[in-house]
Amino acid sequence: MFEAIAFYLFAALTIGMFTITVMTSQALYALTAMAAGMIFISAFFFILGADFLGAIQIIVYTGAVMALYAFGMMFFDTTRSVIEKRNNPRFVVVLGALAAVLIVLIVLAPIVTTNLNSQHPIDLNVGNTQAIGMVLFTKYLVPFELAAVMLLVAMIAGIVLAGKKMDKSLTLMADEEIALMQASSHDRTEEEGEH
Amino acid sequence: MHHNEPLNDRNVSEQSPYFYVDIEAYPTTNWDKFKQVVKRTFNGELFVGLWVVMREMIKFDIHTVQYPKEKLPIGPRYRAVHKLLRLWESGYERCIGCGLCEKICISDCIRMETKIDENSRKEVTEYSINLGRCIFCGYCAEVCPELAIVHGQRYENGSEQRAHFVIKDDMLTPLDWLTSGQQEEFPGFGAITPNESVTKTPLAY
Amino acid sequence: MDMAFIIETIVKIVVILLVFSALAGLGTYFERKVLAFMQRRLGPMHVGPFGLLQVAADGVKLFTKEDIIPQNVVKPIFKIAPVITAATAFMAAAAIPFWPEFSVFGYKVHPIVADVNIGILYVLGVMAIGLYGPLLGGMASANKFSLISAARSAAVFISYEVISGLSLLAPLMMVGSLSLIDINNYQAGGIGNWIVWSQPVAFILFWIAAFAETGRTPFHLIANDHEIIDGFGTEYSGMRWGLFFIGEYANMFFISFVIAIIFLGGFGDGSIAGAFQLLLKVSFFFFFFLWTRAAWPDVRPDQLMWLCWKVLMPLAVVNVVITGLVMMF
């Protein structure tokens, strides 16, 4: 009974939070609601007995991904509401609702009559963390390695992109040098504009 | 390389106790920065700091003056809240109501009212100093020809009302203080040494 | 689920909340006293004997102060941010074993609210959410200093979570479990079995990361008084600011417990002597937080990032690789 109560409670909370995320025009509300929603999603993992995944959900999505979104939001004034241009709000609502219903139908229609059985039931002899490790390094080894390589590529690319001119320090340069550097970069952008 | 100081003229000579501290050049390359961090991490600078504060804690050599209970002595010429003095020989007020202090006061905070009393002497009926404006420059005490207004040692002027400090009766030496010899005089030009030679000035010549 | 379990859990939650709220208050007293003694001062002296009741006076002040909500702030977020800090700090305590199990009138008590088998992950995860207090508080404050503080807190927390996670990986590989009780029992054999001897690098790295995640002095950039006023706390007043404060001090206590349990043997074999040893270790780590505050200067934000990504992270990765190689061969 506790599980049912917890499931419906967290289901309602999650949907409510993500509704706020989509509907609000205030960026900070959206950020906070989305972070809270991510935490509430982890509750489902805990209810299912997947403690490890739940904790990872909190750490990765709430602790890291949402904080990076917040980094992006530092660049504009978050204390003001975003003014959105809506030409036909009713049209958007109808289309959105239709898309949501369609997705639910597509996913649920093939299995609505069958009785669900879990293919990999929790093995009580093996801990949650070990079980994930075993699956990850046997059955899903190639996707796992691929994801790792892609992340590595993204990391190196990020460092290369952000690392340009990192060795130069404006505080240690003379004024003429700075002017020279600005002029040269100005020329370069103009050249690029011509081509 | 010596770090280039932006301010060069600091009057540092051979005789003076001041000297230039040799500032190391800032590391510019990454390798230099790394070497600096390693050097600072492993040569124990961090532990020197930790040891110094721990030593002071163990020595427990406390330098706090617990102010309301303990007070530091202040100089005899400290310029705090004013006092009006009395004549030693007669107990009359020294102030003759000349108004010089009122005139010289640069923050315009002294105000006095005078009248001719029954002995045909000038009597000061009201004398007030607005301590909210007073800057304690000491000009009033300097200009006073009778050494009537001086600066006292009372620097704790916290109160509910500023008016508490400027009442003439609070500034004037009480008569029993005078008789018990508690009125302080400052040595210097024109000051009197209270002893037997101080006698009452005869009013009638 | 039987009733006894629920009642026991609630009692444990209440006890932990009360004890650590009080300890957070006392922590400020100890911090003032220790800092004062190290700087040849006396610290609080006038409220109560040796200033002991200063905590109560501060509490009365914080509770009775007007709760000011400035005009241009995003009000709901501004109001909820301090609660996030305090709540996450105390939530992290749920998976920390504070004391070996003991029995009261024949009833066995486990002094841990939820003995989940991913204890340390849970603690780190919830402390990671603690980032949202300064972040949202700073962004909602409509104040440039708060915004700078929010940016710094996001950068510092994300960066140093990498360090704390990677440095913990090596000891966890040795123990083979994420439960703090298992980690403790792994070192139950005595002082020679402590993980700090086999993983000194991980110990130092995690300790450094703990300073960054609690925002204590060498890395006190999030609310650095001489640069950005009080950072995210600039616009706060009264008990809302007090909640940030309680959260910070509770975090200091909990991270001290985590370091002591993972690296320094925790409560050992579970005897009373071991339990008191755990308290001693925790008090040392808490004292060290205060000690460094008196002794060391702050680093610049760019130095902090430099240290994290170019020195500590490679060290942590190398440590994990070497541990793995040693365990394989």
Of the ranges A130-144, B12-26, C23-37, C170-184, which one carries the lowest mean pLDDT score? B12-26
Is residue C109 within 8 Å of C101, Cβ to Cβ? Answer: yes
* Separation of CA C308 from chain center: 19
Range of the domain at C114: 3-328
Is B158 contained in some domain?
Answer: yes
Assess whether B45 and B91 both reside in one domain: no
Interface test with C, best of A68, A129, A137, A152 (most C CBs within 10 A): A129
User: To which residue do tokens 């039987």 refer?
Assistant: C2
* Cα distances (Å, whole numbers) of residue B123 to A112, C95, C283: 110, 84, 72
Residue C166 CA to residue C225 CA, distance in Å, equals 31
Average pLDDT, chain A: 82
The alpha carbon of residue C24 is apart from the nearest alpha carbon of chain B, in Å, by 23
Same domain for B51 and B90?
A: no
Residue among B182, B171, B172 nearest B134 (CA): B171
Cα A53 to Cα C92: distance, rounded to the nearest angstrom: 17
Say if the Cβ atoms of C117 and A26 lie within 8 Å. Answer: no
CATH number, domain with residue B125 = 3.30.70.3270
C174: exposed, middle or buried (Cβ count in 10 Å: 0-12, 13-18, 19+) = middle
Q: Are residues B96 and B173 in the same domain?
A: yes
Average pLDDT (C132-136) is 88
DSSP state of C46: S
Provide the shortest C-alpha distance from residue B36 to chain C (in Å). 12
Residues of A in contact with B30 (CB under 8 A): 167
Q: Is residue B88 part of a domain?
A: yes
Is pLDDT at A160 greater than 90 in this prediction?
Answer: no
Cβ–Cβ pairs < 8 A, chains A and B: 4
A179 and A138 part of one domain: no
**B25 min Cα distance to partner chain A (Å):** 12
Helices (H), C2-93: 3-38, 54-64, 75-92
User: What subunits make at least 3 CB pairs under 8 angstroms with B?
Assistant: A, C
- Residue B128 CA to residue B139 CA, distance in Å, equals 16
Q: Tell me: do A182 and A142 sit in the same domain.
A: no
Same domain, B8 and B47: yes
d(CA A111, CA A107): 8
Of the ranges A71-80, C37-46, C136-145, C230-239, which one carries the lowest mean pLDDT score? A71-80
Contacts (Cβ under 8 Å, ≥6 apart) of A172: B26, B28
Chain A residues closer than 8 Å to C132 by CB: 32, 35, 62
The amino acid that residue C286 corresponds to is: F
- Going from the C-alpha of A87 to that of each of A9, A80, A90, A93, C66, the distances in angstroms are 36, 22, 9, 12, 45
CB contact under 8 A, B33 and C39: no
Residue A125 clears pLDDT 70, i.e. is over it: no
How far apart CA C251 and CA C264 sit, in angstroms, is 19
Report the SS3 class of residue B156: coil
Rounded distance between C-alpha atoms, residue C37 and residue B59, angstroms: 9
Rounded (10°) angle between helices A66-73 and C132-140? 20
Strands (E), C30-141: 102-104, 107-109
Average pLDDT over residues C309-329: 89
Percent share of chain C, pLDDT over 70? 99
Per-residue pLDDT of chain B (205 residues; tens, 9 = 90+): 455 555 555 566 666 667 777 887 888 788 888 888 788 778 887 888 889 899 988 888 888 888 888 888 887 778 888 888 888 777 788 888 888 988 999 998 888 888 888 888 888 888 888 887 889 888 988 898 888 888 888 888 777 876 666 677 777 777 777 777 777 777 665 667 666 666 666 665 5
Among C39, C205, C208, the strongest candidate for a mutation testing the B interface, having the largest count of B CBs within 10 A, is C39
Instruction: Find the helix packing angle between C75-92 and C3-38, rounded to 10°.
Output: 100
**Count of structural domains within chain A:** 3
Q: How confident is the model at residue A16 (pLDDT cuts 50, 70, 90)?
A: very high
Check the CA dihedral C24-C257-C133-C20 and report its sign. negative
B48 and B119 co-located in one domain: no
Q: Do C291 and B50 touch (CB under 8 A)?
A: yes
Residue B189 belongs to some domain of the structure: no
Q: What is the pLDDT of residue B1?
A: 45
* B93 and B150, same domain (yes or no): yes
Spacing of C-alpha C297 from chain mean position: 21
Is C136's pLDDT higher than 90? no
In a domain, A143, yes or no: yes
Q: How many domains, in total, are found in chain B?
A: 2
Q: Are B85 and B147 in contact (CB under 8 A)?
A: yes
Nearest Cα to Cα of residue C233 among C157, C136, C324: C136
With CA atoms as reference, the chain C residue closest to A74 would be C151
Query: Do the domain assignments include residue B200?
Result: no
pLDDT of residue A145: 92
3-state DSSP helix/strand/coil % of chain B, to nearest 5 = 25, 10, 65
Closest approach of C107 to chain A, Cα-based (Å): 25
Task: Pick the more confident residue, A188 or C303.
Answer: C303
3-state secondary structure of A26: strand
Question: Which residues in A lie closer than 8 A to residue B26 (C-beta atoms)?
Answer: 172
Q: What is the mean pLDDT of residues C158-182?
A: 86
Instruction: Answer whether A14's CB lies under 8 Å from A37's CB.
Output: yes
Distance between CA atoms of B60 and B64, rounded to whole angstroms? Answer: 11
pLDDT for res A151: 92
Tokens representing residue C141 in the block: 């404050």
pLDDT digits over C187-238, tens only?
887 777 888 888 889 999 999 999 988 888 888 887 777 788 888 888 888 8
- Is A131 exposed, middle or buried, given 0-12, 13-18 or 19+ CB atoms closer than 10 A? middle
My answer on whether A27 and A1 are in the same domain is: yes
**Model pLDDT, residue A14:** 93
Out of B63, B97, B116, a domain closes at B63
CATH number of the domain to which A64 belongs: 1.20.120.1200
B27, B101: one domain: no
Rounded to whole angstroms, the Cα distance separating B165 from B82 reads 9
Q: Could you list the residue range(s) of the whole structural domain that residue B39 is in?
A: 1-63
Does residue B2 sit in the same domain as residue B49? yes
Which pTM value belongs to this model? 0.79
B22 and B86 in a common domain: no
Number of domains comprising chain C: 1
Cα separation, C266 vs C260, in Å, equals 5
Residue A9 domain boundaries:
1-84
| Angle between the N-to-C axes of helices C3-38 and C272-295, in degrees from 0 to 180, rounded to the nearest 10 | 40
User: What is the crossing angle of helices B45-59 and C3-38, to 10°?
Assistant: 90
User: What number is the average pLDDT over the span C159-172?
Assistant: 88
User: Tell me, what's the pLDDT at B17?
Assistant: 67
Give the separation between CA C161 and CA C124, rounded to whole angstroms.
Answer: 8
Picking from A84, A113, A147, the residue at the C-terminal end of a domain is A84
First to last CA, chain A: 69
